[in-house]
């Protein structure tokens, strides 16, 4: 009887541990940072969002393929007095240097999105350094402003990439709210998706070449302002030191 009770206790304890593990995996997978526990290994994380009590958020645009809607995006943000962060690929920067100048002159921040838009977890360290170095150089030479942020193409990263970017003086930035504008969602779908998901410290992902992004942007900004949110570039949102990383990619002040 004693051994039967003992085995039941072990069974229920083991079952509870399994259930907690499943819940944790589901929660982390929703954040986009679940891989930190994948395979039982810990991984270094980029910044997905910032833990803050202030109602501050950052919107960002990845630039790689064109400029068809970029002027409209810039006009909207000028009219709304909003500053954001653009991440530019080197080949885009070379093709459209005048847009780097437009973006910088409008007071927006520019980070690198790599040189050739590769899956950077497949590169060795020397190739990573080249991707980061040449891409930031053209931005700095064209705008005269220092590049401090880096967003990996496809959101693809590994420990080596995070460590190498840090050595190069770059903060690696992901996102906590994906507009999915790259899927050509309608303007109303983009707006609903973003507005319903934003919280304090969110980093929102858009693309400058999103088909309906410019149609959604003004409404998104107005709705979020009505909720009391303030828009700042990512470089003004993140902590530069004295922080730790949460398992869900949150940058948390270490106080």
Q: Measure the CA–CA gap between 51 and 36, rounded to whole angstroms.
A: 18
With cut-offs at 50, 70 and 90, classify the pLDDT of residue 41. low
Determine the pLDDT at residue 12.
Answer: 47
Determine the pLDDT at residue 43.
Answer: 81
Mean pLDDT of 219-238: 98
Three-state SS for the chain is CHHHHHHHHHHHHHHHHHHHHHHHHHHHHHHCCHHHCHHHCCCCCCECEECCCCCEEEEEEEECCCCCCHHHHHHHHHHHCCCCEEEECHHHHHHCHHHHHHHHHCCCEEEECCCCCCCHHHCCHHHHHHHHHHHHHHHHHHHCCCCCEECCHHHCCCHHHHHHHHHCCCEEECCCEECCHHHCCCHHHHHHHHHHHCCCCCEEEEECCCCCHHHHHHHHHHHHHHCCCEECCHHHHCCCCCEEECCCCEEEECC
Alpha carbon distance, N-terminus to C-terminus of the chain: 52
Write down the mean pLDDT value for the chain: 88
Percent residues over pLDDT 90 in the chain: 82
Quick one: which of 144, 114, 124, 111 has its CA closest to 236? 111
Tokens of 26: 């589901």
Dihedral sign of CA atoms 87, 93, 95, 96 in order: positive
What is 49-253's CATH superfamily?
A: Glycoside hydrolase/deacetylase (3.20.20.370)
Q: Classify 185 in phi/psi space as left (phi over 0), alpha (psi -120 to 50) or beta.
A: beta
Mean pLDDT of 178-194: 96
Tokens of 209: 């070449």
The structure's pTM equals: 0.84
User: Does the pLDDT at position 117 exceed 60?
Assistant: yes
Using CB atoms within 10 Å of the CB of residue 75, give its burial: 0 to 12 exposed, 13 to 18 middle, 19+ buried: middle
Q: What are phi and psi of 146, to 5 degrees?
A: -70, 140
Q: Measure the CA–CA gap between 57 and 118, rounded to whole angstroms.
A: 28
125-169 confidence digits (pLDDT tens): 999 999 999 999 999 999 999 999 999 999 999 999 999 999 999
CB atoms inside a 10 Å sphere around CB 55: 14
């Amino acid at each position: 009887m004693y051994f039967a009770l003992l085995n039941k206790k072990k069974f229920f304890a083991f079952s509870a541990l399994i259930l907690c593990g499943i819940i944790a995996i589901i929660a982390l997978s929703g954040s986009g940072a679940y891989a930190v526990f994948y395979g039982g290994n810990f991984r270094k994380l980029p910044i997905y969002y910032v833990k803050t009590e202030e109602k501050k958020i950052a919107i960002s645009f990845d630039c790689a393929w064109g400029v068809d809607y970029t002027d409209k995006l810039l006009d909207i943000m000028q009219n709304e007095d909003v500053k954001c962060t653009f991440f530019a690929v080197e080949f885009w920067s070379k093709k459209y240097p005048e847009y780097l100048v437009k973006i910088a002159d409008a007071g927006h921040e520019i980070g690198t999105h790599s040189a050739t838009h590769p899956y950077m977890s497949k590169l060795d360290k020397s190739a990573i350094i080249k991707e980061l170095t040449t891409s930031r150089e053209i931005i700095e030479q064209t705008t005269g402003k220092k590049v401090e942020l880096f967003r990996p193409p496809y959101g693809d990263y590994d420990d080596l990439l995070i460590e190498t970017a840090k050595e190069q003086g770059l903060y690696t930035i992901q996102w906590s709210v994906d507009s999915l504008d790259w899927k050509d969602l309608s303007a109303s779908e983009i707006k609903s998706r973003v507005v319903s998901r934003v919280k304090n410290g969110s980093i929102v992902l858009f693309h400058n070449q999103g088909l309906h992004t410019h149609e959604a942007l003004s409404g998104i900004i107005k709705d979020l302002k009505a909720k009391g949110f303030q828009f700042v570039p990512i470089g003004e949102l993140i902590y530069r030191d004295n922080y730790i990383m949460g398992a869900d990619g949150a940058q948390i002040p270490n106080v």
